[in-house]
Amino acid sequence: MSIVEKIQQAAVNSLSNLYNQEFNASDFQVNQTKEEFEGDYTIVLFSLLKKTGQNPAALGEQLGNTLLNNYADLFSQYNIIKGFLNLTIKDNFWLQILKEQFNNARYGKMEPNQKKVMVEYASPNTNKPLHLGHLRNIFLGWSVAEILKANGNTVYKSCIVNDRGIHICKSMIAWQKFGNGATPENTKTKGDHLVGEYYVKFNDAYKAEIKELIAAGMDEKTAEKESPIMKAAQQMLVDWEAGKPDVMELWAKMNGWVYAGFDETYNNIGADFDKTYYESNTYLLGKKTVEEGLQKGVFVQDADNSVWIDLTTDGLDRKIVQRKDGTSVYITQDIGLAQQKYEEYKIDQSIYVIGDEQNYHMKVLKLIAEKLHLPNAENIYHLSYGMVELPSGKMKSREGTVVDADDIVKEMIDTARQHTEELGKVKDFEPSELVQLYKTIGLGAMKFYLLRVDPKKKMIFNPQESIDFHGFTGPFVQYTYARIKSILRKEPVSNQAIEFSTLLPLEKDLLVSIEQFQSILQQAAAELNPSALAIYVFNLAKTFNSFYTAHSIANAESSEKKQLRLQLAQMVSNVLKTGMGLLGIQVPERM
């Protein structure tokens, strides 16, 4: 039970006894006391005035006295500032946490529960490499999955690969026309990058053809339809759906190049999946559901045989779920895949990590699933996030202006090397150690910077700013961890129980912050928001640095104080390592 829950329970019991009526924790707020006032936690009294019939001063005195008398092992004193009851927690409470948990590497994590959750993220197209936007998606999805695991849930990480459709055929046609047998091997090019080059070449050729047709007297819209290369791509899609052998062979070959490239990137950035779905296997899903929806009256069939659902009463519009020729649309296969996920894993919640440009699509998906009474439809959740841009502005795949994930990762590692060498503290490192260190710092900087912002917000990623060793960054937290490990190598922590008595303010600040770790993990899981965790570990690192600047560990006032501070350092290092690990960030033992 957290300290906030203990305070809530004590206050509820005290209020019930004082006023002979039932109270619960939702009747009032408990917040950390503001820095300018004395105390650790504050009960906000205003919401209790009507129910108790008291004024703030009288209520504060009555409740404060009762808490002090009945919970003397928890509270040492109180004060009242207007409608706020500020409570000071006894040092023994904080010291007991240290005594019991300083060597617990799992501190903060919850025991397993029965809830099963699937988190779907990444969802790339196989016509181009992963890019910076994918990285925010992947880091967000991976971290949310790990935070949910830390809260005791069984979590399945999944990915849907968009490996069919007109965009895939565009790359294939361009490779046929301009590739001259190019392969990843004979061009020494990573497979996903090679295929992406032909997606750009298609767009360049398409634009050139439109320009020629317009110059010959055709209007722009007609030119777009009559472009020979576009017609060829459309025919290739027809041939793919018909299973034409040579088209299927080319499709499998080029997709194979891309899959190998994706796997290399995933491995490099530390991303993984428990289940990968492929659109080529799922695009026919949902057809049976359309038939069932027609029978139930959820869908209607128009005169041209197309099938629709009317969502106007839900504040949306009419949405097609099957074309007049009987083929599926995206929403149809998404409904089918939602069913398949449930049937395979019996999940209690299905989380989709998808950019906010798909908010409408996801609203429609959930509404249709609910109207069809699909299992667990109400627990479909869209974790919508804002787009990420560079200081130079937006990026466009078709025009080849997107920053490839591999390129930005390499840039981050190079920047980490440059910054670290400038500090001049790695002269005794082996070359292999340095390679790993630069990768750890570079990737850590990027992940932390992308995750420290609330997912709902759009953001600008600044590579140089992200790697500042003194700012609100991953390297700052990594450096603090390495600093603690250096201290602990010189001064080993005793595993024997040591009785402590009092805490200095900064020692107490550290324990107050450490105690909040599990609550922060619960908040991050409830909100599906890793930024809450990123902010927390940064503040914990900052508090430790303030403590270490003010108080010597090696030359502490007594052997008792020395061990207290060493155990504090040990516990902070465990929390930093766990917290950063849940963000997908490694922490180096030395820097």
Full DSSP string of 527-567: HT-HHHHHHHHHHHHHHHHHHHHHS-STT-SSHHHHHHHHH
Nearby residues of 214 by Cβ (< 8 Å), 6 or more positions away: 220, 223
| Mean pLDDT for the chain overall | 94
| CA distances, 209 to each of 124, 224, 398, 450 (Å) | 28, 9, 16, 40
Question: What single-letter DSSP state applies at residue 328?
Answer: B
Structure confidence at residue 359 (pLDDT): 96
Question: Alpha helix (H) ranges present in 86-165?
Answer: 91-101, 132-150
Buried b (16+ CB within 10 A) or exposed e, 144-157: bbbbbbbbebbbbb
Q: What is the pLDDT of residue 401?
A: 57
- A 10 A CB-CB count for 479 gives 21
Domains of the chain by start residue, with CATH: 3-89 (3.30.1360.70), 93-163+381-591 (1.10.730.10), 165-282 (no CATH)
Question: Do residues 21 and 53 make contact, with C-beta atoms less than 8 angstroms apart?
Answer: no
Average pLDDT over residues 55-84: 97
CA–CA gap between residue 528 and residue 145 (Å, rounded) = 9
**Is residue 423 within 8 Å of 468, Cβ to Cβ?**
no
Query: What is the arithmetic mean of pLDDT over 572-585?
Result: 98
132 contacts 171 by C-beta, under 8 angstroms: no
Q: Which H helix or E strand runs over 292?
A: helix 287-296
What value does the mean pLDDT take over residues 346-353?
Answer: 97
Give the C-alpha separation, 225 to 218, whole Å: 11
Predicted local distance difference test score (pLDDT) of residue 179: 96
What pLDDT sits at residue 240?
94
* Residues 530/583, Cβ–Cβ less than 8 Å: yes
pLDDT computed for residue 399 by the predictor: 47
Does 563 score more than 80 pLDDT? yes
The beta strands (E) that lie in 401-510 are given as: 459-460
**Per the structure block, which two tokens stand in for 499?**
């009785």
Each residue's pLDDT tens digit, 444-471: 999 999 999 999 999 999 988 999 888 9
User: Residues with Cβ < 8 Å from 33, sequence gap 6 or more?
Assistant: 39, 40, 41, 42, 86, 87
pLDDT tens-place string over residues 193-227: 999 999 999 999 999 999 999 999 999 999 999 99
Distance separating alpha carbons of residues 332 and 317, to the nearest angstrom:
16
What confidence score (pLDDT) does residue 90 get?
A: 96
Mean pLDDT confidence for 10-34: 97
Q: Please tell me the distance from the alpha carbon of residue 204 to that of residue 399, in angstroms, as a whole number.
A: 8
Burial (Cβ within 10 Å: 0-12, 13-18, ≥19) of residue 411: middle
